Chains A and B, each alone.
Chain A
Amino acid sequence: MSQSPKVKRWLVAGLVFVASAVIFLSSDPRTQLSWPEKIVRDTLAPVQDVLAGVGRSMSRTTESIVAWRELVHENARLKTDVERLTREVVALQEAGRENQRLRDALGLVQTSTVKQIAVEIIARPLDNWANFVTVNKGSRAGIKPGMPVVTAHGVVGHVQNVTAGTAQVLLIIDRRSAIGAIVRRTSQLMLVEGARPTAEALHLKPLVREANVEVGDEIITSGLSQIFPKGLPIGTVVSVKSDEYGFVESATVRPYVDFSRIEFAFALAAAVDAEGEGDTSASE
């Protein structure tokens, strides 16, 4: 029996109301997901993992073929870099030994444990408005919301929410992301935010009036946020915008991490750094 028009109207109105409520409740970033969301993510994750692996192999093969000549030049350049870095490592090792000798002399005890959980990117967002990635480890592997995610090049983002087998990482280039940062050269406080939706660039806002920012400046995390420890590389300033009085109004930062090619990263589980005379208690 078909429903009367009045019943249909009430049904449609009810559905629109429920849909509006769900959209509204899910409009802000959340750390806790509903069970349907967890089911979808955890069910699709294994297939995404396999396809992501296939995609990576194909990308590498294509890139190798296309970049053959550059690879030859890059190989020569890397050999030179390896020699230089080897000399630097030797010098740093000596500096580390001297540091430890001085600490022993002063009676300082240093405890620093940063547990790194290696993760693999298995999926990227569906639309072009969000900038996040899904990784192949979740709460089962010890990943928790709020953990910073980095690569050897720099900051990637932070864990927004987790399921048993996956985690969603909000990238620093997302428009909802904001990180406390400093200019390495001047130690002035800045705020780094995601820029345009399809741009892999960051927007830098000075938090001091007479900010001293120049093209080429390195931006690192300030350590003032609850999420990112101090000193993690973020990117390099590529352009500066000044106001009519010559004060720096904003700047554009090119991140060190290539977000279009990132495949692996590390979630920093805990950064415990305690210094004191025989004090081994952990603090965050």
Chain B
Amino acid sequence: MRPSSVRYIVMTMVILLALVVQTAVLSRIHLFGVRPDLILVLASLTALIRGSRSGFWVGLAGGLVGDLFTGSFVGLGALSKALTAYMVGTLGRRLFGERILVPLVAVAFASLFEEWLYVMGADLFGQALPIVGGFTQVGLPVAGYNVVLTPLVFPWLLYLYRVLERLEGERSPVV
């Protein structure tokens, strides 16, 4: 089996695992009154570790599977997560360089940006969601929760990508 095929299979399983953990476990644990967005955390950290294109595809795939599970606005979550991850990958290294706070700050801004994108998209397709209320009641708390999850996810994701890169014989573009 080609190493790139192994990467696709492994990332597919990681996305599905994140979806299951999010819906069956984390959604029961409310922090700041909200549920986290593990798929977005995954996509944003992938963008930092592997680059904006990888983050885009993880966001698109993870978001699409999540949308299919939810059954509402299928595609909107995929697009918002993909674009957000692409932005994180593009800006993350330029603005912050190699600092320990990079993943935390990136995830915080990604959470706020993705919620805004989602609200705008839902409004565009006829479902008016509160913008100001969405920012204060959803965006900020979700950003806080995602930041709490980041130190738990980042080391494992970094390790996983290093292993995959060793399998593929690539140099690691690590943050």
Which residues of A line the B interface, CB within 8 A? 19-20, 22-24, 26-27, 29-30, 33, 36-37, 40-41, 44, 47-49, 51-52, 54-55, 59, 122-130, 134, 161, 168, 196-198, 260
Contact = CB atoms under 8 A, between A and B. Distances in A.
Contacts of B73: 23, 26-27
Contact of B39 (A22, A26, A55, A126): A126
Interface residues of B, number: 44
B68 A197 contact: no
Contacts of A128: 34-35, 138, 142
Contacts of B22: 126
A110 to B, nearest CB: 40
B138 A40 contact: no
Prevailing SS type, chain B contact patch: helix
Interface in B1-47: 16, 19-25, 27-28, 30, 33-35, 37, 39
A123 B125 contact: no
A126 B70 contact: yes
B127 interface: yes
Q: Which of A23, A29, A55, A59 has the most CB of B within 10 A?
A: A23
Nearest to B119: A129
B71 A26 contact: yes
A129 B138 contact: yes
Contact of A27 (B33, B69, B125): B125
B46 to A, nearest CB: 18
B37 A44 contact: no
Contact of A161 (B20, B30, B71, B127): B71
Contacts of A29: 72
B161 to A, nearest CB: 24
A41 B69 contact: yes
B91 interface: no
A27 B138 contact: no
B23 A134 contact: yes
Contacts of A49: 24
A54 B20 CA distance: 13
Contact of B75 (A23, A126, A134): A23
A27 B20 contact: no
A33 B71 contact: yes
A125 B20 contact: no
Q: Which of A19, A48, A129 has the most CB of B within 10 A?
A: A129
Nearest to B39: A126
B35 A36 contact: no
Q: Which of A26, A54, A134 has the most CB of B within 10 A?
A: A26
Given A27-B73, A127-B37, A129-B122, A36 B129 contact: no
B121 interface: yes
Given A123-B27, A128-B34, 14 more contacts: A19-B79, A22-B75, A23-B74, A26-B72, A29-B72, A52-B25, A122-B24, A123-B23, A124-B23, A125-B23, A130-B72, A197-B134, A198-B138, A198-B141
3 A-B pairs with the lowest CB-CB distances in the bound complex, closest first: A124-B27, A51-B24, A123-B23
B51 interface: no
Q: Which of A33, A49, A124 has the most CB of B within 10 A?
A: A124
B24 A125 contact: no
